[in-house]
Amino acid sequence: MKRFIAVLLTAVLCLSLVGHAQEEAPFTGYYSDFTMGLDGWYPRSADNTVELKRLGYVIEVRGRTASWNSPGRDFPLLAGVKYRFSVDVKQTAVESAEFMVSVAHTRDGAESYENLGRVTAKQGPWVTISGEYTPEAYDKYTLYVETVGNGDINFMMRDFTVEPVELHFDGDLPSLKEVYADYFDVGSCVNGMQMRDKAQIDFFATQYNIFTHENELKPDSVLDVTASKKLAKEDETAVAVKFTSAKPMLDYCQKNGIKVHGHVLVWHSQTPEAFFHEGYDTAKPYVTREVMLARMENYIRQVLQETEKQWPGVIVSWDVVNEAVADGTGALRESNWTKVVGQDFVNRAFEYARKYAAPGVLLCYNDYNTPNEPKLTGICNLLDSLMADGTIDGYGFQGHYKVNDPHISRVKNAMERIAAKGLKLRVSELDVGISENTRQYHRQQADYYKELFLLFLEYADQMEAVQVWGLTDDRSWRSESFPLLFDKNMEAKLAFYSVAEAVKEETK
């Protein structure tokens, strides 16, 4: 029946286009079982060796000489719309082969590529590749099925589907930013892929009034190594930066009156190794302490000044340094920063940030596992040092927790110790994992979220913001533990309602 309907829909579509050849029909989805032939699919290869042959309801791909050699088809996708795709593949040539659905997109004549979903196919059985894709604006989109290696094997594919994901936004939900308006800001992190989906971001802008880039303001994204290497030929301390990845969210927040928390200026992770080497060349020795301090200052200066110049007032706070304290000792963790600069690198980073930050921008230290000893004591010692320098404004509790782990009493103890110093407080990366996707576990998750927010409300006078680390469960870095307030369909979870209700309970 499914195959009959597919044929019928294809036929109806063809007939409907006969009298409307000059009109561009909106793309509402695609499915083919290839009963109508190759249905627009064509071979992709450099030497024209690839052959596509229809065998019943299947396309067989033959004559491949490279992993990207593939069946491809052009699709009139719309930028900012989320699509769900799936296709079955089968191979009998080798014991195991990895397949991908990828997209070749073209803008102003230049073609670029993204890998969208993959699966491992054992010898013999059919397997399904599936996933979701929200395209940026391009002139052309070609979806294709390729292999990772095994560029010479034949394979088969069937039942290719692409359809827009229908998201249902509940306009009757309470708005968390309004519920907590008298207490602190409420927000989330957002990544570049999610910024493409305007409908989704518009919805979350009704819930949250502060966003953080998930990755796009980290040194890996901002430090322009190629340009810095050129500058280093004349001046080893020179630094070049770029904001290509961060720009979409900063533009959106500027236009829509949403605050941004900057994450992060100095971190041992997601920082190019070349930053620490002579000539920005990892094959050369580390630079001296003096050169590295100058690079650090130049990097912090340019990031703070350029973001304030281009997006004035949008970034209201920064994580100056992230995760510098080791878990097991409470001392500073060993990293390129301690190796090249020394134990005072955190102090110097805050010194430079204070020197160049715009008035009113809060400078924070951010870390995880705050309730744990000896880390808590190590964090407190570092904060005391920075407070003595007069360079720090606040502390960020990451909060990557599981239900009742850590116990709420330990979270409270850590918050008490740091709040007693008089610093501003932030809950910067909150998520609460569960071990099973059942109502029982979601109820426990909701109860723990409520306990946490009731605790945060106790410190409302010092709390600047509480930000969950992600928009929906499926896009969380801990997606396997369903840790956020909205599920993969953007439906509000029990945890969302418990967070919204915590204010009512606190005011009783």
pLDDT at 169: 65
The residue among 392, 420, 448 that closes a domain is: 392
Mean pLDDT of the chain: 91
Contact (CB, 8 A) for 187 and 208? yes
> How far is the C-alpha of 375 from the C-alpha of 225, rounded, in Å?
33
At 360, the amino acid letter reads G
Determine, yes or no, domain membership for 110: yes
pLDDT at 460: 97
Q: Are 96 and 230 in the same domain?
A: no
What's the number of domains the chain is made of? 2
Determine, yes or no, domain membership for 488: no
pLDDT at 487: 92
Tell me the mean pLDDT in the region 77-102: 91
CATH of the domain at 152: 2.60.120.260
- Sign of the dihedral through C-alpha 331, 337, 339, 344: negative
For residue 281 the two structure tokens come to 């060349």
pLDDT at 494: 95
- Pick from 467, 463, 454, 457: which is nearest to 398 by CA? 467
pLDDT at 14: 37
CATH of the domain at 344: 3.20.20.80
Determine, yes or no, domain membership for 476: no
pLDDT at 34: 84
pLDDT at 193: 84
The pLDDT tens digits of the residues spanning 152-211 come to: 999 999 999 998 886 666 667 999 999 999 999 999 999 988 898 888 899 999 999 999
DSSP 403: T
pLDDT at 24: 44
> How far is the C-alpha of 484 from the C-alpha of 119, rounded, in Å?
27
Residue spans of beta strands (DSSP E) within 1-69: 30-32, 42-44, 51-55, 58-62
The pLDDT tens digits of the residues spanning 407-445 come to: 999 999 999 999 999 999 999 999 999 999 998 999 999
> How far is the C-alpha of 369 from the C-alpha of 367, rounded, in Å?
7
Q: Are 138 and 263 in the same domain?
A: no
> How far is the C-alpha of 29 from the C-alpha of 490, rounded, in Å?
21
Q: Are 213 and 160 in the same domain?
A: no
Strand, helix or coil at 373? coil
Task: State which H helix or E strand residue 364 sits in.
Answer: strand 362-367
- Least confident residue range of 98-112, 337-351, 392-406: 98-112
Tell me the mean pLDDT in the region 120-143: 92
Determine, yes or no, domain membership for 177: no
> How far is the C-alpha of 89 from the C-alpha of 145, rounded, in Å?
9
Q: Using 50, 70 and 90 to split pLDDT, how confident is the model at 490?
A: confident
Strand, helix or coil at 226? helix
Q: Using 50, 70 and 90 to split pLDDT, how confident is the model at 8?
A: very low
Contact (CB, 8 A) for 29 and 163? yes
Q: Please, what is the end-to-end C-alpha distance for the chain in angstroms?
A: 59
Task: State which H helix or E strand residue 262 sits in.
Answer: strand 259-267
Percent of the chain exceeding pLDDT 90 equals 80
**Could you list the active site residues?**
323, 429
> How far is the C-alpha of 380 from the C-alpha of 344, rounded, in Å?
16
> How far is the C-alpha of 489 from the C-alpha of 73, rounded, in Å?
28
pLDDT above 80 (res 2): no
pLDDT at 15: 32
Contact (CB, 8 A) for 464 and 360? no
- Pick from 28, 44, 264: which is nearest to 144 by CA? 44
pLDDT at 28: 75
Determine, yes or no, domain membership for 3: no
The pLDDT tens digits of the residues spanning 20-37 come to: 333 345 677 888 888 878
Determine, yes or no, domain membership for 466: no
Q: Are 123 and 272 in the same domain?
A: no
pLDDT above 50 (res 485): yes
pLDDT at 18: 34
Q: Are 145 and 248 in the same domain?
A: no
DSSP 335: S
Determine, yes or no, domain membership for 410: no
388 vs 134 pLDDT, higher one: 388
pLDDT above 80 (res 41): yes
Q: Using 50, 70 and 90 to split pLDDT, how confident is the model at 4?
A: very low
pLDDT at 248: 95
- Pick from 464, 453, 135, 167: which is nearest to 317 by CA? 464
> How far is the C-alpha of 68 from the C-alpha of 71, rounded, in Å?
9
The gap from C-alpha 369 to its chain's centroid, in whole angstroms, comes to 21
> What are the phi and psi torsion angles at 461 (to 5°)?
-65, -25
Domain residues for the domain of 27 are: 23-164
Peptide bond preceding 164: is omega within 30 degrees of 0, i.e. cis?
no
The pLDDT tens digits of the residues spanning 368-380 come to: 999 999 999 999 9
